[in-house]
Amino acid sequence: MTDRYAIIGNPVAQAKSPALQTAFAQQFGEDMSYGAILGEPGRFAEAVREFQRSGGLGMNITMPFKLDAFELADELTPRGRAAGAINMFTLRADGTILGDNTDGFGIMRDITHNLGRSLKGARVLLLGAGGAVRGTLLPLFDEQPAEIFIANRTASKAVDLAAEFSAQAGGIRLAGGGFADIAGRFDVIINGSASSMSDEVPPLPAGIWDKDSLAYDMAYRKEPTAFVRAARAAGVGQASDGLGMVVEQGAECFFLWRGKRPDTAPVIAALR
């Protein structure tokens, strides 16, 4: 029988996961199908269990169900628990569900593998203090930057987030504050705030980036985001949106489900 997977969300028609997972399966000749499920408010758990009972082996979860997925999972991976939100289920034969979050992995993979940027010893600025940034922290720690500063409009949220993860940061200098607290130049600036959804740029001070910096926006659009445009206008040498992150987080899901690592370069190129 063909192995079945799906993404659940509301809305879900715009999701790229079916195209991604189908392309990955074709690379390896895997006998699997990947569909989309329009989740109904209040019936998320019911839809997941129904898919599992029908033989489904795994699911991706998109908005607005990532927090519901966190609550439904019987077991969480360390990075899933740290993120506080889940974008991937492995549906086990014994009826239990393993929840994971591959978004942070996707960001780090895109930066280090596709963009060729080493983060070891780097000074990193994270913009925002929501789920996207939470999910990035543990994978970012693995890359061994020297310093991470989390900046958010509500400074206390960034301060609290830095304090929450301080014990896991090892020797990395980790701190948080408001945008007014940002000081000095950074090697890598990652925008995980909601600003790009409204095509705006966070209120960043001058001098935080230069021609040797990387400006990375977790969001993506057909045209460059306001954050990417601002970075390029400031002379930043390397600026990228989050399309590669979307592909890489999907590739990580495929690897965890199927045990094979897809070649993401042709998929990213096709989506571009």
Active site residue ranges: 66
Q: What's the N-to-C CA distance of the chain in angstroms?
A: 34
129 is in an annotated binding site: yes
Annotated binding-site residue? 154 = yes
Rounded to an integer, what distance in angstroms lies between the CA atom of residue 35 and that of residue 51? 11
Q: Is 155 annotated as a binding residue?
A: yes
96 is in an annotated binding site: no
d(CA 109, CA 240): 13
Q: Is 244 annotated as a binding residue?
A: no
User: Three-state SS across the chain?
Assistant: CCEEEEEEECCCCCCCHHHHHHHHHHHHCCCEEEEEEECCCCCHHHHHHHHHHCCEEEEEECCCCHHHHHHHCCEECHHHHHHCCCCEEEECCCCCEEEECCHHHHHHHHHHHHCCCCCCCCEEEEECCCHHHHHHHHHHHHCCCCEEEEECCCHHHHHHHHHHHHHHCCCCEEEEECHHHCCCCCCEEEECCCHHHHCCCCCCCCCCCCCCCEEEECCCCCCCCHHHHHHHHCCCCEEECCHHHHHHHHHHHHHHHHCCCCCCHHHHHHHC
Phi, psi (rounded to 5 degrees) for 125: -110, 125
Residue 131, annotated as binding a ligand: yes
- Say whether 191 counts as a known binding-site residue: no
80 is in an annotated binding site: no
101 assigned binding-site residue: no
Does the annotation place 128 within a ligand binding site?
Answer: yes
Q: Confirm whether residue 144 is marked as ligand binding.
A: no
CA distance 272 to 126: 25
Is 1 among the annotated ligand-binding positions?
no
* 87 annotated ligand-binding residue: yes
170/168 Cα distance (integer angstroms): 6
Annotated binding site for NADP(+): 128-132, 152-157, 218, 242
Annotated binding site for shikimate: 62, 87, 103, 220, 249
Annotated binding site: 62, 87, 103, 128-132, 152-157, 218, 220, 242, 249
